[in-house]
A = this chain, B = another copy of it.
Amino acid sequence: MGEEKSKRRTTVKINGQSYVISGQADVSHIKEVAKFVDEKMKKMRNVNPYLDSTQLAVLAAVNISDEYLRLKKQQESIKKDGEK
């Protein structure tokens, strides 16, 4: 299937550390995602300057998941309404 061939490797910087992200997504999308996480972590650090990098990353993940799950539920309820 040549799956490996179609996978790109993009290096991004998040919270001062480099990460290699591999996937089929556009480089521009991967860079947008990385910037989004980096900014969330920065915001978390501004609010909680005493947290370490792991705690910052976990709390950023919690924050993003909160938004994601809310949006998902909202979309599912719109779909259900449409089916009525």
**Which residues of A does B touch, CB under 8 Å?**
14-15, 17, 19, 21, 25, 29, 32-34, 36-37, 40-41, 52-55, 57-62, 64-69, 71-72, 75
Question: What residues of chain B lie closer than 8 Å to A60, measured between beta carbons?
Answer: 57, 61
In the bound complex, do residue A69 and residue B37 qualify as a contact, i.e. CB atoms below 8 Å apart?
no
Supplied contacts A17-B54, A60-B61, 9 more A-B pairs, CB within 8 Å:
A17-B55, A21-B62, A36-B69, A40-B65, A53-B54, A61-B61, A68-B68, A68-B71, A71-B71
Q: A19 contacts which chain B residues (CB < 8 A)?
A: 55, 58-59, 62
A65 touches B37 (CB 8 A): yes
The CA of A52 and the CA of B17, in the complex, are separated in Å by 13
